[in-house]
Amino acid sequence: MKEVQYHPTARLSSSETSIAPTIVPQSTEEAIVSGPQLNRRHLLQGSSAVAAGTLLSVLAAPPTTAQSASPPQAVPAMRDPQNVLAAAGAGLPDLPALGIIALNRMGFGPRPGDLDAFNALGNSPTAALEAYIEQQLNPAAIDDSACDAILASYQFQTLNKSLNQLWADHIKAPQVTYETRTQPIRETEKATFLKAVYSKRQLQEVLADFWFNHFNIQGWDSWAAPVFVHYDRDVIRSNMLGNFRQMLGMVAQSPAMLYYLDNQSNSGGNPNENYARELFELHTLGAENYLGVVPLIVNSNGGFEHPGPKDANGRPLLYVDDDVYGATTCFTGWRVNGDTGSFTFDSAAHFPYQKLVLGQAIPAAQGIKDGNDVLDLLAHHPGAARFICRKLCRRLISDNPPERVVQAAADVFLANVNAPDQLKQVTRTILLSEEFRTTWGEKIKRPFEYVVSLLRAAQADFAPDDGFLWFTGIIGQRLFSWQPPNGYPDFKTTWSSTMPMLQRWRVCNWLLNSWTYGGNGPNKDDLRIRFTNPPSVKKPTAIVDTWSLTLLGRLLPDNERQPVIDFMAGGRNPNFDLPDDQIAERLPFMIGLIFMSPSFQWR
């Protein structure tokens, strides 16, 4: 076979899938927003810097040590930021109420009132969870008119366009500008942020995020951006509670994926294995089912047999490179119609001869059926069931989910392989598992989740303009922007090291105190997220507990609570009333400490 061509940004070996994103810290003089200037000098000015310095210092202390009332200097903490989560104390945090677990892992964290609504669903926490799961698994039955009204107010122009309309307006139209070509992805990004913050269909938004990362494309690619509405709406969202094989086929035939992984240029005379490689390694079987570069076995009849272990029916349990090469030729001729953007099959570019994939001979002269046969083989493979269910369990439970729940979900996956609601049944199995109910703190919120959960808890009336999206993206997870095909990492260690935590702190500070940076704030009609303290709550201890319950749904543990109380007291007795002016001055920074506490990071 002729040497294959590789997508310049597509390949990433399985050993690299949990590498932390590269985030370059800004130099002292370098502004990181256009217009209003933000640099380290601005960041260290004023009481916002004191609050930020307090945050890193108090969380670096041993869990049993109370902090002094005098806030430490911010500059040393800034220069040597500690791992916030690791410094909060050894071991896992205590298991919170079941509603906290559900709202943080089936969604992007509770808004005020959500926990009460959850508890009202049943006469016990377990009954409430079961009712909430069924509610969220049927998103069409949830009244989401408030979110719909917010989306409508933005008057997005592309979100209801068909694939053919997108292609005609944003690719084929005369004199298409960069702004026109990227309008669909820009509007999808803003709508996705709005839905994550405001939608009551929280599980739907979590699953959309999961499945997009599973079938990741670089959305700002010049061919993906114009048709991104179609990929998000018709390919991912329309299938994520449906049938995996159907979604797999729609991904394979979508113009975004055909261009992103180069199958648009895969032909019998010039094979390109990029799509076939990722189909095996990322979309179905995973590296865990890869046997390696092992040649096929030549039997006594001169034919080829698959190496490695097989099941009782003779089906290979692991794949080798020859399976990828065979699949590559099966997908030759899969194309995008240059006039309409729809999928088409070019028989002249297809490799028409017999192929061998996973021990099964693909007959000659089948045409487009070759590729569909490969998708069938992979969607029905037990290794694919385990790989996909392990990823779902990793997203919904922990980095290393117990094999029992993975196998239980995989069994449901295979038993319902042709069912129209296959993925709904798989998701239900995971969410009803004991492991879901009894696991906490083995995941932290990824950057997008962190920002959304902060906005939800603060009940922010934010505007996802370009400045907001850029600034919140500096934590390392701007939507649809991960270039390799493996999607943003979903491991706790990736996001809990120094630089991601430092950037998380900076974004939190900006969202709460943006006047410090020239007024370029997150809200539509204000410079910052504002908070009103209840007039009757004046003691530092009561203030901290009131806001912990409001923002977290629970009290901070003692080792996190006491330093925040000391900050709020500012040297006074924490059980004496504070003057109103001091409460007003310190409140946003105290809230920032709660948002940057370990308790707010867990999920």
- Residue 300: which pLDDT band, with cuts at 50, 70 and 90? confident
- Averaged pLDDT, 411-430: 98
Q: What is the pLDDT of residues 353-382, one digit of tens each?
A: 999 999 999 999 999 999 999 999 999 999
Q: Which amino acid is at 263?
A: N
Supply φ then ψ for residue 194, to 5 degrees.
Answer: -60, -45
Q: What is the pLDDT of residues 53-107, one digit of tens each?
A: 444 443 333 333 333 333 333 322 323 334 444 444 457 899 999 999 999 999 9
* DSSP character string of 230-253: HIIIIIIITTTTS-HHHHHHHHHT
Among all chains, which residue has been given the structure tokens 């190496």? 307
- Averaged pLDDT, 569-594: 94
- Residue 513: which pLDDT band, with cuts at 50, 70 and 90? confident
Q: Token pair for residue 582?
A: 């001091």
Distance CA 159, CA 219 (A): 15
Question: In 3-state terms, what secondary structure has residue 602?
Answer: strand
pLDDT at residue 46 tops 80: no
Distance CA 586, CA 531 (A): 11
Q: What is the pLDDT of residues 18-43, one digit of tens each?
A: 323 333 333 322 222 222 233 322 32
Nearest to 104 by CA among 590, 568, 551: 551
Distance CA 210, CA 488 (A): 10
Question: In 3-state terms, what secondary structure has residue 523?
Answer: strand
Q: Partners of 320 in the beta sheet?
A: 292
CB 105 within 8 A of CB 436: yes
Distance CA 405, CA 324 (A): 30
Q: Token pair for residue 425?
A: 């049944």
CB 69 within 8 A of CB 566: yes
- Residue 525: which pLDDT band, with cuts at 50, 70 and 90? low
The percentage of the chain sitting over the pLDDT mark of 90, rounded to a whole number, equals 73
What pTM was estimated for this model as a whole?
A: 0.86
Lowest model confidence (mean pLDDT) among 268-272, 438-442, 448-452, 504-508:
504-508
CB 405 within 8 A of CB 433: yes
pLDDT score for 536: 96
- Averaged pLDDT, 479-502: 94
Q: What angle do CA 249, 433, 197 make, to 5 degrees?
A: 65
pLDDT, mean over the chain: 85
pLDDT score for 308: 87
Question: In 3-state terms, what secondary structure has residue 362?
Answer: strand
Supply φ then ψ for residue 301, to 5 degrees.
Answer: -90, 5
Distance CA 98, CA 115 (A): 10
Distance CA 248, CA 204 (A): 19
pLDDT at residue 569 tops 60: yes
Distance CA 371, CA 24 (A): 42
Q: Of all helices (H) and strands (E), which one includes residue 413?
A: helix 403-415
pLDDT at residue 562 tops 50: yes
- Averaged pLDDT, 382-392: 98
Distance CA 496, CA 444 (A): 8
Q: Partners of 444 in the beta sheet?
A: 602
* DSSP H stretches of helix in 416-514: 422-431, 434-437, 447-458, 466-473, 492-495, 498-512
CB 526 within 8 A of CB 564: no
- Averaged pLDDT, 138-149: 98
CA 399 to chain centre: 14
Distance CA 148, CA 136 (A): 17
Q: Which amino acid is at 421?
A: D
Distance CA 599, CA 603 (A): 9
DSSP state of 267: B
- Residue 512: which pLDDT band, with cuts at 50, 70 and 90? confident
